[in-house]
Structure 1
């Protein structure tokens, strides 16, 4: 499937005028084999203040590719669209650098549950057997169905848990982000700076 999609993308790029082709050719095609875990140990338990204090004061555009690598390794690509890459589970990030300051970006990454837009808040369900499940409520399908579908493994949107509505004791939205805290604790300040540059400049680096 990935090869087929890649070929379609190449054909589409070749059909574009050369002047416009460069706008898209640096965007990575969608992937279905992105990592599910961060393959590096925790180094620093970053806070907003400690990270801002350690970030380099100057950045250079040639770090754009390095930032793209961190975007993948830190699992951002599992839940966010950025250009043509990623998944549309969380907020779209393609133009996030135009709308938010660097401090805002750092705060939203380090403290993801501090401010959560309503469409992305999690749902907590307590069933009659006393179990509590927290996840992303899936609204697709027939509302008359006797079943509720909940995505409890947020890095794998296709994995769903089905709950009988008759077994639901309480259902409420909670002020929690699907994004886990600590995703950047295995990365250095320099690597996080590369990630921020990537988000600030967009999928295609400035020349």
Structure 2
């Protein structure tokens, strides 16, 4: 009987399964379902040593209960090491998730980046694990999970806390002469850090990171030259895409609502007035007297005023490279 077998013997059994699957390849669906059903009956166990092995097996075999049971263990885990184990092995599972389960998994990554501690490479480990999970999301999942996914791994706050210090009120004439010169020896790490410091990833997707309330800027350099990029950063309201433009809604009572309509349902418009907030404002369609595009971009101005000139140049070089460390912009 299962309850008569000791902890060590159970671990030996689980590892025999793991070795067999590693050496002989993934079992047939019939065999996988049969093994997973037996293991599901005892998962979770009372010992964490057994649950670590069971979680790996059940996620690999794809049992329908593997994700919810492993997430429950992740939420209940009292040590950082236990949490890391479950979150890490969940990262490579593509199918079988609900949106709520995905949300819990990515919320853990966001919290871990702030709360958990480790060595020099720890933040990189968390970021890489999160990126692997991000890469498996569908477009629909990314859109639905945007409020959670747009949370970026920010650099440490400046000593003393509080807002970042303004370096300068940058204007086109301050930067354009340097931007129009050939880039050589720009700093990849500085550009990457500048993107976080200027909060670009709160709204924009770059690679597999960032939000989706603004345009994807991964391939921005294929559509815009450096002057255009600089202008879009410093003067976001000069050219506003119809796809991302806010609307101004004049209500019959005189109130004005500015935002982006996300849906129309049951005679009501649902407006997101703050692109970094999930809260929606409901307006009866019959209550709208007039509407027109807003002349002001949803993207705030002056975001790069916390950056030095070199940081802005590195940021533009980083965007132009699409995140490629080997790009010519960074060669000496």
Q: TM-score, normalised by structure 2?
A: 0.50
* Pair 99,134 (structure 1): closer, same or farther in 2 beyond 3 Å: same
The equivalent of 1:85 in structure 2 is 209
The equivalent of 2:324 in structure 1 is 204
CA-to-aligned-CA distance 1:86-127 (integer Å, 9 cap, x gap): 111111111112222111100011011111121111100111
Q: CA deviation at 1:9?
A: 4.7
For 2:130 and 2:224, locate their aligned partners in 1 and report how far apart those are by CA, in whole Å.
24
Find out whether 1:190 has 2:314 as its counterpart. Answer: no
Q: CA deviation at 1:164?
A: 2.0
> Which structure 2 segments of 5+ residues have no match?
1-70, 72-83, 95-126, 135-148, 155-161, 328-332
The equivalent of 2:256 in structure 1 is 132
The equivalent of 1:121 in structure 2 is 245
Equivalent residue pairs, number? 187
The equivalent of 2:191 in structure 1 is 67
Find out whether 1:149 has 2:270 as its counterpart. Answer: yes
* Pair 71,9 (structure 1): closer, same or farther in 2 beyond 3 Å: farther
Q: Is the 8 A contact 1:40 1:186 kept in 2?
A: yes
Find out whether 1:33 has 2:151 as its counterpart. Answer: yes
Find out whether 1:166 has 2:286 as its counterpart. Answer: yes
The equivalent of 1:22 in structure 2 is none
Alignment of 1:16-31 (within 5 A): 29=131, 31=149
Q: Is the 8 A contact 2:195 2:315 kept in 1?
A: yes
Structure with greater contact order relative to length (CA < 8 Å, sep ≥ 6): 1
The structure with the larger Rg is 2
The equivalent of 2:158 in structure 1 is none
* Pair 11,167 (structure 1): closer, same or farther in 2 beyond 3 Å: closer
Say which SS state the counterpart of residue 114 (structure 1) adopts. Answer: coil
For 2:292 and 2:88, locate their aligned partners in 1 and report how far apart those are by CA, in whole Å.
41
For 1:93 and 1:45, locate their aligned partners in 2 and report how far apart those are by CA, in whole Å.
24
Q: Is the 8 A contact 2:88 2:129 kept in 1?
A: no
Q: CA deviation at 1:149?
A: 1.1
For 2:88 and 2:230, locate their aligned partners in 1 and report how far apart those are by CA, in whole Å.
33
The equivalent of 2:66 in structure 1 is none
Find out whether 1:51 has 2:175 as its counterpart. Answer: yes
Q: TM-score, normalised by structure 1?
A: 0.77
Q: Is the 8 A contact 1:54 1:189 kept in 2?
A: no
Q: CA deviation at 1:10?
A: 5.7
* Pair 11,193 (structure 1): closer, same or farther in 2 beyond 3 Å: farther
For 1:68 and 1:59, locate their aligned partners in 2 and report how far apart those are by CA, in whole Å.
16
